[in-house]
Copies of this chain bind each other. A is one copy, B any other.
């Protein structure tokens, strides 16, 4: 780079600031090492396929949740999402069915044989959640809740670590590092939108986070178009773009009856929207040589 252009780059803000694999002893990419592949139920995240995890924001009832899980299974996918414990900005909002929600997950799991990812919100419930969950989700608001990261890292289960909406990629990788220092090697990173001045999306989807992270870490990186974009009509475009950008998968909200959802309904896809989005995704995957599973 010429002196002139170096000068200009400094001028034009301060970036980009290069992430360096060497700053992350456990999460950083190393020469000769393979990318991490994480088995969750019948699916493998990070092995070259595009893995879709779908389900409702919150487990609301046996009927709602089993319908969603069935839709996921019918569409040919293996991992269902659904929150029993829900972090809610307001203490007066529905905070999930709690223990009862875990029971619903356990029942639907027994019936479908699918794998389930659900959120852990506090160290004191780590074991309880791990009994049911095949993968432990750590939410955006808890990305730097370090005791929680450590507790999750000790459970011997894969961890789905969502980026905080106010956190840098450096911090996301350092959060993975916190989980991994406890012995967990199976961390999936998840971009889910960041806060910016623009409010035409729920949170601005930082899609380039996926290839940028993949350039420094061996961990798989997936994308959550539901919590970022938050507009059902636009979510299919985000899904396709995530696949095209090389993400290892996506985390998608679907709901049997969006209008009646107790949490985040407005950003869920209906089952028919889900079906249409998947059809296009599979066509694209075929063209790119990327299995969708």
* CB–CB A259/B197 < 8 A: no
Given the known interface contacts A89-B8, A262-B5, A288-B284, the answer about A208 and B229 at a Cβ–Cβ threshold of 8 Å is yes
* CB–CB B199/A2 < 8 A: no
Q: Which residue, of A13, A169, A199, A243, has the highest number of chain B Cβ atoms within 10 A? A: A13
Interface flags for A1-36 (1: CB within 8 Å of B; 0: not) read 110110111011111111100000100000000000
Majority SS of interface residues in chain A?
loop
A70 within 8 A of B: no
Chain B residue numbers with a CB within 8 Å of A234 are: 208, 211-212, 215
* CB–CB A11/B170 < 8 A: yes
Chain B residue numbers with a CB within 8 Å of A201 are: 15-16, 208, 212
- Oligomer: number of copies: 4
* Shortest distance from the beta carbon of A182 to any chain B beta carbon, whole Å: 9
* CB–CB B208/A264 < 8 A: no
* CB–CB B194/A198 < 8 A: yes
* Shortest distance from the beta carbon of A221 to any chain B beta carbon, whole Å: 12
The number of chain A residues touching the other chain, given as a range, is: 35 or more
Please pick, from B2, B15, B211, the residue contacting A259 in the complex, using a CB distance under 8 A.
B2
A181 within 8 A of B: yes
Chain B residue numbers with a CB within 8 Å of A95 are: 146
Chain B residue numbers with a CB within 8 Å of A260 are: 2
Chain B residue numbers with a CB within 8 Å of A168 are: 13-14, 197-200
* CB–CB B230/A15 < 8 A: yes
A254 within 8 A of B: no
Expressed in whole angstroms, the Cα–Cα distance for A205 and B16 within the complex equals: 12
Expressed in whole angstroms, the Cα–Cα distance for A243 and B241 within the complex equals: 8
Expressed in whole angstroms, the Cα–Cα distance for A242 and B237 within the complex equals: 10
Interface flags for A25-52 (1: CB within 8 Å of B; 0: not) read 1000000000000000000000000000
Task: Tell me which of A61-69, A75-83, A137-145 binds B.
Answer: A137-145
- Using a CB-CB cutoff of 8 Å, which residues 97-143 of chain A contact chain B? 121-124, 141-142
Report 27 cross-chain contacts, Cβ distance below 8 Å, ordered by A residue: A5-B263, A5-B264, A8-B88, A8-B89, A15-B199, A15-B201, A16-B231, A17-B200, A87-B146, A89-B174, A91-B178, A91-B181, A145-B148, A164-B166, A165-B166, A168-B197, A194-B198, A196-B197, A205-B207, A208-B238, A208-B241, A211-B234, A215-B234, A237-B244, A241-B241, A284-B284, A287-B288
A interface list, Cβ under 8 A from B: 1-2, 4-5, 7-9, 11-19, 25, 87-95, 121-124, 141-142, 144-148, 164-171, 174, 177-178, 181, 194-212, 215, 228-231, 233-234, 237-238, 240-246, 258-266, 283-284, 286-288
